[in-house]
Amino acid sequence: DAGVIQSPRHEVTEMGQEVTLRCKPISGHNSLFWYRQTMMRGLELLIYFNNNVPIDDSGMPEDRFSAKMPNASFSTLKIQPSEPRDSAVYFCASSPGVLGGETQYFGPGTRLLVL
Partner 1 sequence: AQKITQTQPGMFVQEKEAVTLDCTYDTSDQSYGLFWYKQPSSGEMIFLIYQGSYDEQNATEGRYSLNFQKARKSTNLVISASQLGDSAMYFCAMREGNTGGFKTIFGAGTRLFVKA
Partner residues linked to 101 by β-bridges: 98
Binding residue (CB under 8 A) for partner 1 from 45, 66, 68, 73: 45
Q: Is 99 in the site for partner 1 (CB under 8 A)?
A: yes
Q: Is 103 in the site for partner 1 (CB under 8 A)?
A: yes
Q: Is 102 in the site for partner 1 (CB under 8 A)?
A: yes
What is the rounded CA–CA span in Å between residue 41 and residue 103? 23
Contacts 24+ apart (CB under 8 A), 40-44: 43/91
The least CB distance from residue 79 to partner 1, in Å, is: 20
User: How many beta carbons lie within 10 A of that of residue 48, not counting itself?
Assistant: 23
What is the rounded CA–CA span in Å between residue 77 and residue 93? 13
Q: Which residues bind partner 1 (CB under 8 A)?
A: 30-31, 33, 42-43, 45, 48-50, 55-56, 89, 91, 93, 95, 97, 99-100, 102-106, 108-109, 111
